Amino acid sequence: MMTSRKEGYEEGVTSGKEQLSSDVEHTLKLANDYALGSIRSDGHWCGELRSNVTITAEYIFLRHALGLDLRADNAAYCRYILSQQNCDGSWGLAPEYPGDVSTTTEAYLALKLLGVSPDMPAMQQARAFVLKAGGAEKLRVFTRIFLATFGLFPWDAVPQLPVELILLPSSCPINMYTLASWARGTIAPLLIICHHRPVYALPEDYLDELWLNPTDKMVPYGSSLGDLLCQGDFTGLAFSVVDNLLYYLNGLRSVPLLRSYARRKCLQWILERQEPTGDWAGIFPPMHASIYAFVLEGYELDDPPVRLGIQALENFAWEDETGKRIQACVSPVWDTALMSIGLCDAMSPDKHVLQQAITWIRNRQLLKPCGDWRIYRPKLAPGGFSFEYENSHYPDVDDTAAIILAQLKQDPQSVASDSVIAAATWILGMQNPDGGWAAFDVENDKLFLNKIPFSDMDSLCDTSCADITGRILEAFGLMMRRESKRPVLSPMLRHACTRGITYLASTQEANGAWFGRWGCNYVYGTSHALCGLAYYMKDDKRVSGLVAPALQWLKSKQTDDGGWGEPLLSYQTTGTQQQQQSTPSQTAWALMGLLAHLPLSDPAIERGIRWLVCSQQPEKGIGASWPEAFFSNFSRARPATVPTDKVVPLRYWDDLDYLRRLCHDFTFRFDDVLDASKLDAALARLIEIGDWSQLGARLRLNDQNRLEYHIPAEYTKARPAYNFTTTEYGLRISEHELGKQLPKSGQDQSVLSPSPAVFAPIVRHADSPHKLADWIYTDRPQLHIHVSVFQDATLVTVSYVHTLFDAIARSTFFNAWIAVLRGREDEVPPFIPFEHDPLRTLGTEAPVKPYSNFDRALSGLSLVIFGLRYLWELFWYQQEEEHPIRLPRRCVERLKESARKELAAMSPDNEDKAPFLSEGDVVMAWWVRTIVTALNPAPARTIMVMNVFNVWALFEEWFPTGGAGFIGNAFFYSYTLLVAGQVIQDASLAYVASKNRKALMEHRTKEQVQAMTSMQRASFTRTPPVVGDANLLFMACTNQHKARYFELDFSAAVVAPGVPLSERPHALGRPSYINDIETCQGYPTRNVVRIIGKDAAGDYWLLFKTRPGAWAVIHRQLVALLKLDEKE
């Protein structure tokens, strides 16, 4: 029984959805296994809470000041701090943030206290960064305080903090309780510290190398009064006047009775908030400062407040292979609540684990009437939860809402439990007048406090935010659904939620997104707002108007690979939601928001789910999870030059702008299991042979906007010659959601294979670079090798910038690697050093003959018109789509025979003089006819096909035989001019192929290459000429068959065959498919083909790239060709 194409398509879609559903179930099982494997013995979860290096540095300051021994952990602390250093020598506030002078200074001082020599390259780079950033003169207030405690900064250059602030009543416009909880807990002990102005003396010149002018350290910490007046900043002016007045009054120290009383009250305030475990507020800053305060007030190290405080800080330590660091906080309650929600949503079968987790959480509900929140809500009954193990004074609303969700999802009957009712009642009482909710406090919105001189991070207030409000709307919405039969709180919940929706309506951005305060950033805020609003679509007419633009915004931010990614830098550029490569957390957040309103069949949701399924990674131990990538090395600051590096400018023909913009992830698929360690060892050995060590060069951009190689004098673990990563999948490639879609020998062509970029999650590592900035703004080597090992297949990927080598030189690299792998080092050719440029004179001398296409080269107005037309086409067809095509051997043979017959018909009397046509000529001609037919240009329109060719053989005097040992770019262009109407005729293969062969023979001569390159050198943009007319249709072809990629023999690394040799055409260790992800940054390409080569079965593999609308016609032509071949 035959089915129609539509029916077949629908069956395929249904089958695909069923398969995706199966893959999701498998993914969830692995994640569930990982969750069970990482649970603590008493039933809760707690992962690492990462922060920047200042937390660890400040802990080192404390231990040094108190005389506590650091020798046992010295190396571990050093290893961690150095591992976080950016390539420009700096340390940043957050991943991918640019270097920060205060963070860098604190890291530098900590390392110096740990005994690291200032002459160490890392220290030299840090010092250079600080000085370039303005020196220690530019430090933030808190860093000044830390340095002042060691006598390295004048106390008079620190804002005044009178202890008497603690005496101001809560009714005063400015008092301790108008500050956010985290600021309040930190400032109280700072009042004591700034009263004593301690000096745990280090040599006066200990950090002088970080000052521009170490003789004058009395630098201002804010704008002058005159500047504030000119700026119209009257609030800042008032605070600065008060600060100056306090300075002249010696910080009120001259009133001893008041000062003595204030100190006692302050110390009492701090002591009342210490937990039995020694914690203060569960976070590092108040704990750190409070220990200082008690010691300065005469307490000994063995006294309980100090001893317990130090132990509490040590409990924040986290150590692994990266080193030892101190967390800013611990997050057991939060982690357990979210994990419980996740397991419930995934319908985990391990009910007893969930019950144990919920019981563990409930036991931490804060039901005693204590906490700073009671200052402004004295009659509100307690019921909140805190983030940490011990933090009875500062429950937070976000945790409490998440725990309501966890309890209701684990047991719907818990809606009437004392725990849920108490939690919801407490949240109701914490709602702000604007309708939103903040994290810890209520009505803590005195933003003018951020103008206080010691507030240099604008973080003194705890205001309402969309992400927390959205979570509460979700929790309350679920409660009201569960309470439908016995409404206890529903009327109050409904009223609060109406006000919450009003708040969200007032804070939605013009583009539909919401700012996220407690997660990065707009994706997080928008997701939680959408999850909350989903419960009110029917009851509140405003909601649909809020949801529609938010969904549209989320969809618009989906990346090409199907995931979502937003950098932390979006906090610095508020309102401009940037994108980065996809991350698991942000993809999950986005999907949560979309799933709350859209069906599972929505394409954006399906793509996002596929990305999560495919990006799951096996973890140590049991199960699998989603490791987050770190982007701290992707800042825009250029790395400092290492003095011992050899600096070599890139060769002229390597450092062209369009090569800089092309980055590749070039992947071999092997239907065998390869030993990654053997591949690694062979490459490491290759680097040791002669000048092949130069492959480890780093790319840098100099002040003249030219690229340079910085070649290390030696390679170390910290500065390797290449990056080599491995992922092992405990399954067959056909069992992996993406792996099963990866093309292979004999690939079915009845449906288009996915774009190469779709396979990024399995061919790339999370840290693989993919754009030029990932190299030039880091100290990473040029090559990143990633090996993905399945039970029956191996994928080997090389990530690089096109400036390194072209397609032919790429095969030189692979052949050298293979020679070492096979134990034949004598076959490795001498490496041509980067400082030697065989083509350095090419195009510099007057050409012997004029360029044959000189008369048709566009210039002046015609070039401008062509440029405008091309830009218009790019604007009108903004998207491009790329798919691999397998052209079977029999089809190629038949196409070649047809072309020969057409040639004979064109010249019946001169068959012997018919031009030679290669298989490559015919394959290229078929591509031209296929794509021109699909694009359907006007019949009279000129088609310009730019063909790439290598020049090693043309300039034998400049290159070794066959270009042996040359790693670089040595390709130029031939131009074939065609007429669209003739291309799309039935018998056009010979026309196109012969014209192409003739153009290639004409242009691939020494004289013509010299003439063309002289024109390119003379061009302002250093680009090759455009030939034809202003209305031409531009196309480009790169035939890489001569690189012989499918003949590369990696059999020496094979552990076991994955597909029996009797069931495949390719030999052991030979590639069965090549996936090439070409990332173009600002270099628009359309109508391009890369002929990757001919596989062992004789089939040609091509990569087509053109606009999406043309693909239906292209595929129809391919299917027709295949059917014709089947008939014959």
Phi-psi domain of 483 (left: phi exceeds 0; alpha: psi -120 through 50; beta: other): alpha
Q: For residue 582, how many other CB atoms are within 10 A of its CB?
A: 25
What is residue 931's three-state secondary structure? helix
Kindly state the tokens that stand for 91: 């340390």
Contacts of 1111 (CB under 8 A, 6+ apart): 752, 881, 883, 934
User: How open is the CA angle 78-79-82, to the nearest 5 degrees?
Assistant: 80
| Alpha helix positions (H), 365-396 | none
The residue type found at 715 is: Y
Q: Is 1088 exposed, middle or buried (0-12, 13-18, 19+ CB in 10 A)?
A: buried
User: Helix, strand, coil shares of the chain as percentages rounded to 5?
Assistant: 45, 10, 40
Angle between helices 522-533 and 584-595 (to 10 degrees): 30
Buried-state track 62-91, b at ≥16 Cβ within 10 A, e below 16: bbbbeeeeeeebbebbbebbbebbbbbbbb
| Under 8 Å between Cβ of 415 and 483 | yes
Q: Are 921 and 996 in contact (CB under 8 A)?
A: yes
DSSP reduced 3-state for 457:
coil
Would you put residue 441 in left (φ > 0), alpha (ψ -120 to 50) or beta? Answer: beta
Residues in the chain: 1128
Per-residue tokens: 127 = 């010092």
Backbone angles phi, psi at 674, to 5 degrees: -100, 150
450: DSSP letter: G
Helices assigned H by DSSP within 439-572: 466-482, 490-507, 522-533, 542-556
Distance CA 695, CA 392 (A): 57
Query: In angstroms, rounded to a whole number, what is the distance separating the alpha carbons of residues 562 and 558?
Result: 6
At 190, is the secondary structure helix, strand, or coil?
A: helix
For residue 979, the surrounding DSSP H or E stretch is strand 971-979
Neighbouring-strand partners of residue 690: none
Cα separations in angstroms, 326 against 176, 309, 313, 386? 27, 14, 8, 20
Question: In this structure, which amino acid lies at residue 99?
Answer: G
Q: How far apart are CA 706 and CA 213, in angstroms?
A: 34
Distance CA 483, CA 701 (A): 63
Q: Are 122 and 128 in contact (CB under 8 A)?
A: no
The CA distances from residue 863 to 867, 978, 1011, 1030, in Å, are 6, 19, 19, 6
Q: Measuring CA to CA, which residue among 141, 170, 167, 166 is closest to residue 153? A: 141
Catalytic residue chosen out of the listed positions 100, 398, 399, 645: 398
Element (H, E) at 974: strand 971-979
- What is the chain's alpha carbon radius of gyration, rounded to the nearest angstrom? 34
**Cα 898–chain centre separation:** 50
- Using an 8 Å Cβ cutoff, are 657 and 744 in contact? no
Q: Does 1095 participate in catalysis according to the annotation?
A: no
Enzyme catalytic residues: 398
